[in-house]
A and B are shown apart, each in its own frame.
Chain A
Amino acid sequence: MSEYLVETENLCKEFKGFAAVSNVTLKVRTGSIHALIGPNGAGKTTCFNLLTKFLKPTAGTIRYRGQDITDLPPTDVARRGMVRSFQISAVFPGMTALENVKLALQRARGGSFDFWRSRSALRAYDTRARELLDDVGLGDFAGTMAAEMPYGRKRALEIATTLALDPDMLLLDEPMAGMAHEEIDRISALIRRIGKNRTILMVEHNLNVVADLSDEITVLARGEILAQGSYRDIADHPGVREAYLGV
């Protein structure tokens, strides 16, 4: 396996002449937790959308496991093991937590076009789904409608659903946004644990979390890479201080 799981080269995205992302060359080391930070409007989410092909890049290439995936549709990117979360919580609101997770398991294990079989065929996934829910501390919520779960729990459910696909690469878009303290601690521990044998790229605003979790940090500002390195490198970088604090 190559040293980097995901590499981009001079990635650009323009919206009607406005360069949301320009010349981003990003390398995510296999097995690392890599944070993408930057002020609002820096292009972090756009980067996510480009990597997972929800947006088409204007220029540049994306490689995953050394293969060019620049022209793949988003589904295929997911099927190759690079799965994303969304900034606004991405759950299926009219399904229970258990059903949410099972939906992902169902995809990974096939049989999803069976319209002639009863849904009870999916019970085979119950055990694994409950394990995954327990893993993220949602054991008691298995039968709860996703729509009725508190915000932090929805984020946890989203992670459990993503993990159900057993992806090699996770992209987490602001996993801690809008969470209370104790929830942050729990999700942090969870991310650290799942990061042990996976590669994670996350956008996060909470710098304590970033400092705590990440092996490598990339700072974006106005669509360009401003700095890259460990937390210490970044914290001392004058350009970063300026971008964040305006001094």
Chain B
Amino acid sequence: MALNALFSQLLIGLINGSFYALLSLGLAVIFGMLNIINFAHGAFYMIGAFAAYFLMASAGIGYWGALILAPVMVGLAGMATERLLLRRLAKMDHLYGLLMTFGLALVLQGVFQVAFGSSGLPYPIPEALTGGVNLGFMFLPLYRGWVVVFSLVACIATWYLIERTRLGAYLRAATENPSLVRAFGINVPLMITVTYGFGVALAALAGVLSAPINSVRPLMGADLIIVVFAVVVIGGMGSILGSVITGFAVGVVEGLTKYFYPEASSTVIFVLMVLILLVKPTGLTGRGIEATQSAVAPEPASAQGRERVALMVFGVVVIGLALLPLTSVYPYFIMQILCFALVAGAFNLLIGHGGLLSFGHAMFFGSAGYITAHAVKVWGLPPELGILAGVAACAGLAALAGAISIRRQGIYFAMITLAISQMLYFVYLRAPFTNGEDGIQSIPKDRMFGVLDLADTTVLYYVVLAGFILGTLAIYRTINSPFGQVLKSIRENEPRAISLGYRTTLYKYVAFILSGTLAGFAGSLKVFVVQNASLTDVHWSMSGEIVLITLLGGLGTLLGPLAGAFVIISSQHHLAEFGQWVTVLQGAIFIACVVAFRRGIVGELAKVLKISL
């Protein structure tokens, strides 16, 4: 009986492994040719499943037809996406590709949520594959066996196509040296389009295979893609075979964990990733310092050496904010904006000045919230000590997460921080002190420092404003310090900074800790504003929101985060009744920012006014 359960968990592991393998294979194929990490991969997987559903519902085409048609349809859609959107990023840093495809994922998932809600649609197992066989040691449902075998075949076919055929040879050559292959008379741009289409078609194929097992849901690919990122970090994207083997292996490990220690089943892959990074910081197929450096640099401002202008404008804004309680503006709304502006400012310190894209800053924002809420509610600490506890915890968390992730560059750093943050999400989901889905509610509002009564809205407002000012000045000082100069030099030319004798990794590490600590400070403050600490604040979508606020406001600007937070939080407030359309809108803003508006609001303004903001 126990053995039976073990084998069925192993089978589930193999099935999940099939999806991981197909998805990471598609990511690897796309990455090889386009140098883009396709964040929309999970969305295309979902669309594959929906395509199968539509084919059945509206055209009466069953599973077998869908297995061919759905990937073709999604592949064509992918090719259109590449032509219309991704092509514009060809000459830019890889991180912009990640950001744009993240926006695309939000749009696609949002649209399907608007149309179908969040619950699942049923999809039947094809008749030929219903039932199962008794293997003696276990009962094997035929369809599940089919998924594993078919995925394996699809993976091997892809490997054969790329490694053993003439077309594949062109592809590999074009990956190495596109301009040379172009000179041979091969249409490389077309090849890129087809490759992207092929990669997402693989995702769609996984979607069709998954439709009869998991129900067809708009968000079915959203969490999956983060797991696949962890798989990719473990196995590397260098080799086709590597990603396939890692995919299956990781699935099996997950299955075994479900049997032996089910509590850890949702985190085991992330733990595995962390362990591997600790043993081998560059990953299993890592490259050394020769790897090209990758960093999203803010578009250079036209005027330099006038940072004080930014500080003066900041002063004017602060005076305006200080006078706000005299008006009829709803203070809670502004307080929320201030908290988000501060967390985005902390993130901006890292990306705008350190060139590091963290896709996991929600881990600091949310963790600080939980710790502070727990400290004041359960331990009965006064607010200031509660905040201190949250901030200190985040400093420690940043020291740990940074030690794991900081030696990897560019997109890898983004994927690792995202995965670590997702791991914490699952930890908090299960940890008793967080109350799971309910969160920690009704936080007591005691007197801060014994005198400031936080229950008084006006007092709370000034406390939050003071926190925001303090945090922003800390960021400003860091940027304009001797340390900030080194950080800037690393962003501009890391090899040169190394050749001057700077231990660049250490500087980035310190920047990461500072950024995480400040992000935690914002999270601690927010607890007193919204009166709860919940899973929302540690979810990956929060990390995405922090990135969006910063990008929209203007990378590397002092005032950008405030401007970005104002726009994003207002739009959420005013458009709340439109439900998931807000997600679609945010995704669209993401795409627009990456394609045409990389300086952001404040950056554009600074350019027009020829000053530095």
Give every chain B residue within 8 A of A145 (Cβ-Cβ): 304
Among listed A105-113, A199-207, A213-221, A238-246, interface-contacting one: A105-113
Is B88 part of the binding interface, using a Cβ–Cβ cutoff of 8 Å? no
Q: For window 86-145 of chain A, which residues contact chain B by CB distance below 8 Å? A: 86, 90-96, 99, 102-104, 106-108, 111-119, 121-122, 143, 145
Residues of chain B within 8 A of A83, CB atoms compared: 499-501
Give the residues in chain B near A94, CB-CB below 8 Å: 300, 304, 488, 492
Q: Is A155 an interface residue (CB 8 A)?
A: no
- A52 at interface, CB cutoff 8 A: yes
Residues of chain B lying within 8 A (CB to CB) of residue A95? 485, 488-489, 492
The answer to whether the Cβ of A161 comes within 8 Å of any Cβ in the partner chain is yes
Complex Cα distance, B480 from A113, in Å, reads 12
CB A127 to nearest CB in B, in angstroms, measures 17
Closest to A105 in B: B500
| CB contact list, B483-511 vs A, under 8 A | 483-486, 488-489, 492-493, 495-504, 507, 510
B478 proximity list for chain A (CB < 8 A)? 115-116
Assess whether B499 is in contact with A103, with CB atoms less than 8 Å apart.
no
Kindly state whether residue B514 has any CB partner on chain A within 8 Å.
yes
Cβ distance B611 to chain A, nearest Cβ, rounded Å: 16
Interface stretch of the complex, out of A25-33, A74-82, A188-196: A74-82
Q: Is the CB of B496 within 8 A of A92?
A: yes
Within the complex, which residue of A54, A96, A112, A114 is in contact with B289, where a contact is CB–CB below 8 Å?
A54
Residue B320 is within 8 A (CB to CB) of chain A in the complex: no
CA distance A85 to B485 in the complex (A): 20
From A92, A118, A147, residue with most partner B Cβ within 10 Å? A92
Instruction: Please name all residues of chain B whose beta carbon is closer than 8 Å to the beta carbon of A147 when the two chains form the complex.
Output: 300
Q: Is the CB of A119 within 8 A of B500?
A: no
Cβ contact within 8 Å between B499 and A112: no
Q: Name the interface residues of A135-183: CB closer than 8 Å to any CB of B.
A: 143, 145, 147, 161-162, 165
The B97-126 residues at the A interface (CB cut-off 8 A) are none
Which residue in B289, B304, B305, B486 is a CB contact (below 8 Å) of A74?
Answer: B289
Tally of contacts, chain A with chain B, CB under 8 A:
114
Contact of A114 among B305, B481, B489, B514 (CB under 8 A): B481
Could you tell me the distance in whole angstroms from the C-beta of A239 to the nearest C-beta in chain B?
31
Instruction: Tell me, rounded to whole Å, the shortest Cβ–Cβ distance linking A43 to chain B.
Output: 16
Chain A residues positioned under 8 Å from B300 (CB to CB) = 94, 147
Q: Which residues of B contact A52 (CB under 8 A)?
A: 499
Interface centre among B288, B300, B500, B510 (most CB of A within 10 A): B500
Q: Are A112 and B482 in contact (CB under 8 A)?
A: yes
Q: Any chain A CB within 8 A of the CB of B577?
A: no
- Report B300 CB to chain A, min CB distance, Å: 6
Q: Which residues of A contact B482 (CB under 8 A)?
A: 106, 111-115, 117, 119, 121-122
Residues of B with C-beta under 8 A to A74: 289, 498-499
B290 interface residue per 8 A CB criterion: yes
Contact of A115 among B288, B484, B504 (CB under 8 A): B484
Interface status of A55 (Cβ within 8 A of chain B)? yes
**Contact of A116 (CB < 8 Å), options: B477, B488, B493:** B477
Across the interface, do A78 and B501 meet the contact criterion of CB distance under 8 Å? yes
Tell me whether A63 is interfacial, beta carbon within 8 Å. no
- Size class of B's contact patch? 20 to 34
Identify the interface centre among B289, B501, B504: most chain A CB within 10 Å of its CB: B501
Q: Tell me if B483 and A122 are in contact (CB < 8 A).
A: no
Q: With A and B bound together, what is the CA distance between A96 and B303 in angstroms? A: 12
Looking at the complex, which one of A99, A103, A116, A122 makes contact with B500 (CB distance below 8 Å)? A103
Contacts of B507 in A (CB 8 A): 112-113
Question: Which of chain B's residues have a CB closer than 8 A to the CB of A93?
Answer: 492-493
State in angstroms the CA–CA spacing of A84 and B496 once bound together. 9
Interface flag for A56 (CB, 8 Å): yes
**Contact at A92–B492, with CB atoms within 8 Å?**
yes
Measured CB to CB, the nearest residue on chain B to A122 is B482
How many angstroms from the CA of A84 to the CA of B158 in the assembled complex?
Answer: 45
Kindly state the separation between the CA atoms of A107 and B305 in the bound complex, as whole angstroms. Answer: 22
How distant is A194 from chain B, measured CB to nearest CB, in Å?
Answer: 17
Of A78, A83, A112, A114, chain B has the most CB atoms within 10 Å of the CB of A112
In the assembly, what is the distance between CA of A99 and CA of B480, in Å? 12
Instruction: Report yes or no: A75 in contact with B502, Cβ–Cβ below 8 A.
Output: yes
CB atoms of A118 and B499 under 8 A apart = no
Q: A55-B290, A56-B288 are in contact. Are A115 and B481 (CB under 8 A)?
A: yes
Q: Which listed residue (A85, A113, A143) contacts B510, Cβ 8 A?
A: A113
Nearest-CB distance from A140 to chain B (Å)? 17
| Cα of A165 to Cα of B482 in the assembled complex, Å | 17
Q: Assess A112 versus B483: contact at CB under 8 Å? Given A86-B496, A90-B495.
A: yes
Contact partner of A91 (CB less than 8 A), chosen from B305, B483, B493, B504, is B493
Chain A residues, CB < 8 A from B481: 114-119, 121
User: For the complex, what is the distance from the CA of A147 to the CA of B301, rounded to whole Å?
Assistant: 13
A81 (CB) vs chain B CBs: closest residue: B501
Question: Is B495 in contact with A79, judged by CB distance below 8 angstroms?
Answer: no
Given A99-B485, A119-B484, the answer on whether A112 and B502 have CB atoms closer than 8 Å is yes
Distance between Cα atoms of A107 and B495 in the complex (Å): 15
A165 in contact with B488 (CB, 8 Å)? no
- Residue pair B305, A96 in contact (C-beta under 8 Å): yes
Most buried by B among A56, A94, A99, A104: A94
Q: List 17 A-B contacts (CB under 8 A).
A: A52-B499, A54-B495, A54-B499, A74-B289, A75-B502, A75-B503, A79-B501, A83-B500, A91-B493, A92-B489, A92-B492, A107-B486, A107-B500, A114-B482, A117-B482, A119-B481, A121-B481
Nearest first, the 10 A-B pairs at minimum CB distance are A78-B501, A115-B483, A90-B496, A115-B478, A92-B492, A79-B501, A119-B480, A114-B482, A92-B489, A115-B481
Identify 20 new A-B residue pairs, CB closer than 8 A, beyond the known A86-B495, A115-B514. Answer: A54-B289, A74-B289, A75-B501, A83-B500, A85-B499, A90-B495, A91-B493, A93-B492, A93-B493, A95-B489, A95-B492, A103-B489, A107-B501, A112-B486, A113-B482, A114-B481, A115-B482, A118-B477, A121-B481, A147-B300
